[in-house]
Amino acid sequence: MKRKYVLKGIYIVFVLAVLGAAMLVLNHTVKNGRQTESVLPAVTDTPVYVECGEGKPLEVSMLAKENFSVSGFRLLLVNISDESRGTVHITVKDSARNLLMDQVIPVDTITPGEWFTVSADISFMEGEEYVLTLTADGSEPYFMQLSRDDINALLPFEETVINGGETVENGISLGVDMVTPVAVTFGEIFYYSVPLCIFTAIILIIIILFGCEKTLSCIKKIPFTAFLERFGNELFLVLLFVSICISIYSRAYLKGVYITSDSAGYLREAVNLVNGHGFSYDGMAGFNSWFANWPILYPALIAFVMLVTGTNAYLASKILSMIIVGLILIVIRICYKKDAWVYALCLTNIGFLSLTYYTWSEIPFILFMLCFALVLARILKEEKPGKKWYVLLGMAGLCCFLMRYYGIYVWIVAGLYLLLLLNNYRKEKDKRVLGKALGIMITAFVTGCLSLAYLLMNKIMNGMASGVSRSLWWDDYEKLTNDLIESLLTEFFNVFSLQIPQLIENFPFNMKVPVLAVILIGFVLLIKKNCRHFTRESVMITMAVMYYVIFIGIRYVSSMDTFYFRFFEPGSFLFCMGIIGLLLPFLRGKRGLRYFGGAVTALTVIAVLSVFENGGMDTTDSYYESLTKTWDAAYAEIPEKSVIIFNDIDFRSSYYRPDVVDGTINPEDTFETLEARYYGSDYLCIRAEFAKTMLEEGDYDISISRQLESGLNDLGENNEFVVLSLKQKEQ
């Protein structure tokens, strides 16, 4: 017995000795250690570019603010298509014109819209000027246009861009990989090596003391499996909710702002609602406007969140997205019980996540579509559904319409099932089937009447039922069809959180059609073999297919944005829910599904931790707050209740100053007609340089010219806008 304890002691000493030796090695400082930090300017989705014309050098002058070294330059280029098969020649020279870097990059090796690295080994000296020259040959890539002030505050050099021999006022999407000498150990180079060694030593010592069998027996007694079987589903849903909320707050508020022209309209209406102006989206500006381009429900929800939380409109829209994501997960949990975590994977779709970043109505629209599909399936399944289900069906359908006018399509789907029910009644003469058919018919009639009443109200107040003319303007139908093919393929790969693989991306569009056909045929065969009438899966898939078919048809006869993820994702979401329902019976109970769930959970945890590790939750550098500071500066000279003629201020700010409207002056206008047209505004503002140009052209009425001339004479030395008083007329 004594010998046994002696041997255990020797083994423990040996393990500790090995651990000590490993710690000495891992904590040893590596010679010539260097740390590389990528310094990248923030890039938004605003489509403003700096073109690199073929054969026209684009130069970037870099005046070093300090001594530093780089291991490469980081560039983000767009507009790289199949037709761009040339090269990009990049050089860097110092002030003495010595060549420090010379590389030729084939365009087809560059992924558009993503940062790529051009290797270099250059040491910059403070006060010295260096010039990076980019020349496109056989291609015309674009840089993203960025604020030069923001870039110069971030980068270690002052950047000046010279395009075609002319200096431009903005910066471009250019960054650097800065290299600094650091004392780095082997433990820091080999991630997790130190804790792994310590953990291994602890396990070995436990095994030495208690034996392998007893150790394994104790581990097996931990009720880990039972705990996961009981609470794993709910824990995953909570984890997924938290991860999406963190992603929304980080990407769409702290590190970026996702506002389109539609978003600005929603936000402007929400601000006016909070201030008591109802449907009048220009009410705060003093005008009798009517919000009809989109239904009212989405801005009303934003306004409600603003009132409850006291936050600004944009942040309220992000909080609303988080709430809607939570509600979707709750609905999934209620309906799918322990299988909910599998269906919740639909929220990891790239398209869905992208929608949560933007201030768009699609995310709440998906919630109401999901509710409509689930309630309709419940009515179809039950022999004698209660009246409450028809009420819920009507409410969900009405909310779909009030979220997006297109939402009225859900009653077309309900109509298809109504015909099937009537056909079944014709065959079986079952009064319960007739009762369900009548219930759906009455619900559709009542909801339809309410929807038509809403459109009639718009017609009376706005002149158009949906606010604007949606007739055909013009379209390149070949390009539209190509966009449709691309968008459908994108939807398929978005499901797996993948971009279209480069191999398929490089196919000509006529070659992409067979790929798409194979995917569609596969889905058709799966659905035909496994889908049954009047099931959740049937309703989900039918609603999705009808969504796609009707929307594609409408797009070909009316002009709007081209096909892309925003329009298709609501249908894709329901389609994925239905397909999961068809596949799950083959997977339920399989050990592989558990392993898959564990892997997804681990990836979700790592994704959350990565946001914090990458500084994604650093509130000291909020992009939204930085952007609003630029808006404050841009509007500094604009008084309350103004009309800005030829407004060139960032369109995203239109909700930020809802007391301001955009205006124009036509050659046939007089100052009196301007007063009548902009009756709600107290002031007319126009940029001084625009006013000077108008006077030089001499095409405007003398009453306007005199006002502009007077305003220019009164213009302060540092002022950019001419501000003229407008007469107040009774509305």
Residue at 363 is within a domain: yes
pLDDT of residue 455: 93
- Residue 197 sits in the same domain as residue 173: no
Q: How confident is the model at residue 83 (pLDDT cuts 50, 70, 90)?
A: low
Q: Can you tell me the mean pLDDT for 220-248?
A: 87
606: number of Cβ within 10 Å: 12
Cα gap 247→180, rounded to integer Å? 31
Q: How confident is the model at residue 169 (pLDDT cuts 50, 70, 90)?
A: confident
Q: Which of 524, 555, 588 is the last residue of a domain?
A: 588
pLDDT of residue 728: 45
Q: Which has more confidence, 31 or 617?
A: 617
pLDDT of residue 474: 64
Cα gap 215→205, rounded to integer Å? 11
Largest pairwise CA distance in the chain: 114
Angle, vertex CA 413, rays to CA 409 and CA 416, nearest 5:
135
Residue at 431 is within a domain: yes
Angle, vertex CA 374, rays to CA 371 and CA 376, nearest 5:
105
Single-letter amino acid, residue 55? G
Residue at 407 is within a domain: yes
- Residue 506 sits in the same domain as residue 440: yes
pLDDT of residue 80: 64
pLDDT of residue 389: 95
Cα gap 295→285, rounded to integer Å? 21
Q: Can you tell me the mean pLDDT for 330-347?
A: 94
- Token pair, residue 570, equals 């609501």
127 φ, ψ (degrees, to nearest 5): 85, -10
Q: What percent of the chain clears pLDDT 70, i.e. is strictly above it? A: 97
- Residue 198 sits in the same domain as residue 106: no
pTM: predicted TM-score of the whole model, two decimal places: 0.83
Answer yes or no: is pLDDT of 297 > 80.
yes
- Residue 442 sits in the same domain as residue 350: yes
Answer yes or no: is pLDDT of 386 > 60.
yes
- Residue 15 sits in the same domain as residue 148: no
Segment among 438-442, 494-498, 567-571, 641-645 with least mean pLDDT? 494-498
Answer yes or no: is pLDDT of 533 > 80.
yes
Answer yes or no: is pLDDT of 470 > 80.
no
Answer yes or no: is pLDDT of 236 > 90.
yes
Q: What is the DSSP string of 497-550?
A: T-PPPHHHHTS-HHHHHHHHHHHHHHHHHHHHHH--TTSHHHHHHHHHHHHHHH
Count structural domains, the chain: 4
Q: What percent of the chain clears pLDDT 90, i.e. is strictly above it? A: 42
Q: Which of 167, 198, 222 is the last residue of a domain?
A: 222
- Residue 410 sits in the same domain as residue 393: yes
Cα gap 706→362, rounded to integer Å? 49
- Residue 143 sits in the same domain as residue 64: yes
- Residue 425 sits in the same domain as residue 551: yes
99 φ, ψ (degrees, to nearest 5): -80, 115
Residue at 235 is within a domain: no
Q: Which has more confidence, 321 or 700?
A: 321
pLDDT of residue 505: 79
**Is 570 in contact with 369 (CB distance < 8 Å)?**
yes
Give the residue carrying structure tokens 């994501």.
325
Tell me the CATH number at 169. 2.60.120.820
pLDDT tens digits, 552-563:
888 888 777 778
pLDDT of residue 82: 52
Residue at 604 is within a domain: no
Cα gap 632→408, rounded to integer Å? 41
- Residue-number span of the structural domain to which 384 is assigned: 292-588
With CA atoms as reference, report the closest residue to 324 among 408, 413, 248. Answer: 248
Residue at 163 is within a domain: yes
Answer yes or no: is pLDDT of 336 > 90.
yes
Residue at 237 is within a domain: no
**Is 51 in contact with 140 (CB distance < 8 Å)?**
yes
Q: Can you tell me the mean pLDDT for 518-525?
A: 92
**Is 722 in contact with 691 (CB distance < 8 Å)?**
yes
- Token pair, residue 226, equals 């039972």
Q: Can you tell me the mean pLDDT for 389-406?
A: 95
Q: Which of 529, 564, 588 is the last residue of a domain?
A: 588
Q: Which has more confidence, 710 or 107?
A: 710
CA dist 34 → 23, 178, 328 (Å): 22, 10, 47
Single-letter amino acid, residue 446? V
Q: Which has more confidence, 446 or 482?
A: 446
Most confident of 207-221, 361-375, 519-533, 710-724: 361-375
pLDDT of residue 22: 87
Give the residue carrying structure tokens 């990248």.
40
- Residue 373 sits in the same domain as residue 399: yes
Give the residue carrying structure tokens 């219930």.
439
pLDDT tens digits, 119-157:
888 899 999 999 999 888 877 788 888 888 888 888 899
Computed over every residue of the chain, the mean pLDDT equals: 88
With CA atoms as reference, report the closest residue to 42 among 203, 123, 118, 150. Answer: 150
Residue at 607 is within a domain: no
pLDDT of residue 731: 39
With CA atoms as reference, report the closest residue to 483 among 555, 564, 558. Answer: 564
Cα gap 541→521, rounded to integer Å? 15
Cα gap 692→648, rounded to integer Å? 16
Half-sphere exposure of 441 (CA within 13 A, CB side): 11
pLDDT tens digits, 580-630:
999 999 888 787 888 888 888 888 898 888 888 888 888 887 889 988 999
- Residue 385 sits in the same domain as residue 317: yes
Q: How confident is the model at residue 729 (pLDDT cuts 50, 70, 90)?
A: very low
For 423-474, the three-class secondary structure string (H helix, E strand, C coil) is HHHHHHCCHHHHHHHHHHHHHHHHHHHHHHHHHHHHHHHHCCCCCCCCCCCC
pLDDT of residue 192: 85
- Residue 402 sits in the same domain as residue 510: yes
- Residue 163 sits in the same domain as residue 203: no
